[in-house]
Chains A and B, each alone.
Chain A
Amino acid sequence: MTKPQVLLLGEIDHAHKAWASISEIADVIEPKARSREEFIKECESGAFDKVVATYRTFQSVAITGLIDEALVKILPKSLKFIAHNGAGYDQIDVHACTAHDIRVSNVPTAVDDATADTNMFLILGALRGFNTSMMALRNGHWKGSPPPPLGHDPQGKVLGILGMGGIGRNLKKKAEAFGMTVQYYNRSKLSEELSGGAKYVSFEELLKTSDILSLNLPLNKQTRHIISTKEFEQMKKGVVIINTARGAVMDEAALVVALEKGQVWSCGLDVFEEEPKVHSGLIANPHVMLVPHMGTWTVETQTKMEIWCIDNVRSAIEKGKLMSPVGEQKDM
Chain B
Amino acid sequence: MTPPIALVVGPIFFEDAKWQALAPEVTLKEYRKGTREEFISLLKSGTFDGAEAIFRSNESTAVTGPFTEEIVSVLPSTVKYICHSGAGYDNIDVEACTKRGIQVSNTPHCNEDAVADLTIYLMIGALRQITRPNNALRAGKWRGTIVPGHDPQGKILGILGMGGIGSGVAKRAEAFGMKIQYHNRHPLPSTSTTHPSATYVSFDELLSTSDVISLNLALSHGTEHILGAPEFAQMKKGVVIVNTARGGLIDEEAMIRALDEGKVFSVGLDVFENEPHVDARLLGSEKVVISPHIGAATVETMAAMERLVIENIKSALFDGKLLTQVHEQLVKS
Binding site for B on A (CB under 8 A): 113-114, 117-118, 120-121, 124-125, 128, 130, 133-138, 140, 142-144, 150-155, 173-174, 176-179, 275-276, 278, 283, 290-294, 297-302
On chain A, the residues within 8 Å of B134 by CB distance are 134, 290-291
Task: Pick 12 A–B contacts, CB within 8 A, sort by A.
Answer: A121-B128, A121-B130, A124-B121, A130-B118, A130-B121, A140-B283, A142-B276, A144-B292, A151-B294, A179-B113, A275-B142, A278-B137
Q: Interface extent on B, as a size class? A: 35 or more
CB within 8 Å for A143 and B133 given contacts A117-B152, A125-B121: no
Q: In angstroms, how far is the closest chain A Cβ from the Cβ of B214?
A: 15
Decide: B138 and A290 in contact? CB cutoff 8 A.
yes
Per a CB cutoff under 8 Å, which of B128, B140, B171, B297 touches A294?
B128
Decide: A128 and B153 in contact? CB cutoff 8 A.
no
Per a CB cutoff under 8 Å, which of A125, A133, A177, A297 touches B175?
A177
Binding site for A on B (CB under 8 A): 13, 113-114, 117-118, 120-121, 124-125, 127-128, 130, 133-138, 140, 142-143, 146, 148-153, 171-172, 174-177, 275-276, 278, 283, 289-294, 297-302
Residue of A nearest to B139 (CB): A283
Per a CB cutoff under 8 Å, which of A140, A153, A177, A298 touches B148?
A298
The 5 A-B residue pairs with the shortest CB-CB distance, nearest first, are A177-B175, A276-B142, A142-B276, A124-B121, A292-B143
CB within 8 Å for A152 and B300 given contacts A138-B283, A300-B151: yes
A-B contact sample (6 more), CB < 8 A, given A150-B13, A299-B148: A118-B124, A150-B299, A151-B299, A179-B113, A293-B143, A298-B148
Decide: A283 and B140 in contact? CB cutoff 8 A.
yes
Decide: B294 and A153 in contact? CB cutoff 8 A.
no
CA distance A293 to B143 in the complex (A): 8
Decide: A152 and B124 in contact? CB cutoff 8 A.
no
Decide: A143 and B124 in contact? CB cutoff 8 A.
no
Q: In angstroms, how far is the closest chain B Cβ from the Cβ of A236?
A: 16
Q: Which of B136, B149, B153, B283 has the most CB of A within 10 A?
A: B149
Per a CB cutoff under 8 Å, which of A150, A154, A174 touches B176?
A174
Q: In angstroms, how far is the closest chain A Cβ from the Cβ of B11?
A: 11
On chain B, the residues within 8 Å of A299 by CB distance are 148-150
On chain A, the residues within 8 Å of B153 by CB distance are 113, 300
